[in-house]
Structure 1
Amino acid sequence: MCLVFVCDKEERVVGRQEASGSCPYCGGVVQAMDVESQRRFCFLPFYFKIKRKYSCTMCSRRLVTHQ
């Protein structure tokens, strides 16, 4: 008997907009992206979340906010 788990994760950018502030590394413009994340198990979605991620447009670094 063989047991196989089929899992898949898909991320899709929903929207982009310019964020306030500048990149601390190069001084470039910061961009805010709304990313839709969806996990599937055997082609059935069981996890869905929208996150906001920040990145620099010049040096392409992913930026993290501390709250």
Structure 2
Amino acid sequence: MCLVFVCGQDERVVSRQPAPGSCPYCGGMIQAVDVDSNWNFCFLPLYHKTKRRHYCTMCARKLMVQGKT
């Protein structure tokens, strides 16, 4: 008997906005991207979250934003 779990993650871009500052690697413009992610188990939604990610438009690196202390 074989038991197969069908799990998956769907991500889609909700919006894009220019972010202040410049890329520390190449000096390019930074873009803030809102990504909607869903985890599914056998086509049943289990988890839903919207995340904001920052990318450089020149070198396409994913950038980490550090909070103020």
TM-score range, shorter chain: over 0.9
Moved over 3 A (4+): none
Which blocks of at least 5 consecutive residues in structure 1 are unaligned?
none
Q: Distance in 2 between matches of 1:65 and 1:17?
A: 15
Amino acid at match of 1:17: Q
Does 1:62 pair with 2:69? no
Partner of 2:23: 23
Q: Distance in 2 between matches of 1:25 and 1:5?
A: 41
Q: Distance in 2 between matches of 1:29 and 1:65?
A: 14
Q: Distance in 1 between matches of 2:2 and 2:61?
A: 43
Paired-residue identity, %: 63
- The alignment covers a number of residue pairs equal to 67
Partner of 1:13: 13
Q: Distance in 1 between matches of 2:7 and 2:59?
A: 33
State the Cα distance separating 1:9 from its structure 2 match.
Answer: 0.5
